[in-house]
Structure 1
Amino acid sequence: MQTRKLIGGLTFALLAAGLAGGAMASESQWDKNHPRREEVNQRLANQNQRIHKEVREGEISHAQAARLHREDHQIRQEERVMASHDGGHITRADQRALNQQENAVSRQIGK
């Protein structure tokens, strides 16, 4: 009887530990898909497409496109650094700063 209780207790402990580990895994997945990060990265992807379109249409040169891509790349790198400092997500202040930088690049596209 003692052995049965011990096995039942160990099974419960292992099950509880597995559930806690699953919760931690979903938290890290949530951080990767955090809405503020998704919004910033979606804007960068849209700007990338706009840059390519402007080059195809002859609105900007390849050199101008390369400069804009570099600026976007720097913004993306900054977003990743910010996220690494805040547990996988960015704060509202981080998002605001990144959006301001994206706005500056956006205004340069198609001038």
Structure 2
Amino acid sequence: MKLSARIMLISLSALTFAALSGSAAAETEWQKQHPRRAEVNHRLDHQDKRINRERKEGEINKQQARELHQQDRAIRQQERADARQNHGHITKQEQKTLNQEENTVSKEIGK
């Protein structure tokens, strides 16, 4: 391998490593300590944005958006209640149940 190609490969590898390290550092301490809750809440945040986008684009009406947001709020409340029962964490089974509930709401968005 030529020297210039080797230098380019090393530089590219270093940049990739730096980019990946930066995104890992962006993870908060709370997310590190509560990965299941972080995943559930990330999905809820994403669904909230999808509901708002669908409402803005006219795919769903105001009442539908309100009901979808209400369902998501109920899921978030359940996630918090589950966590209170387990010292701030949720179990794998609780995460699975919450994800199934999120899947149901997700299918209703943009029908």
Q: 1:87 to 1:62 in 2, by over 3 A?
A: same
Runs of 4+ in 1 over 6 A off after TM superposition: none
In structure 2, list runs of 5 or more residues that go unmatched: 1-28
Between Structure 1 and Structure 2, how many residues are aligned?
A: 83
Distance in 2 of aligned mates of 1:90 and 1:58 = 36
2:53 paired residue number: 53
1:35 paired residue number: 35
Q: TM-score, normalised to structure 1's length?
A: 0.71
Identity fraction in percent = 54
Q: TM-score, normalised to structure 2's length?
A: 0.71
Distance in 2 of aligned mates of 1:31 and 1:53 = 26
Letter in 2 for 1:110: G
**C-alpha displacement of 1:32:** 8.6
**1:7-54 CA deviation, whole Å, 9 max, x = no partner?**
xxxxxxxxxxxxxxxxxxxxxx65894000000000000000000000
Counterpart secondary structure, 1:89: coil
**C-alpha displacement of 1:63:** 0.3
Distance in 1 of aligned mates of 2:100 and 2:40 = 11
Whichever of the two has the greater Rg, that structure is 1
Letter in 2 for 1:68: L
Distance in 2 of aligned mates of 1:53 and 1:31 = 26
**C-alpha displacement of 1:79:** 0.1
In structure 1, list runs of 5 or more residues that go unmatched: 1-28
Does residue 73 of structure 2 align to residue 73 of structure 1?
yes
**C-alpha displacement of 1:106:** 0.1
RMSD, matched Cα: 1.6
1:108 paired residue number: 108
1:7 paired residue number: none
**1:37-93 CA deviation, whole Å, 9 max, x = no partner?**
000000000000000000010000010000000000000000000000011010000
2:88 paired residue number: 88
Distance in 1 of aligned mates of 2:30 and 2:53 = 33
1:21 paired residue number: none
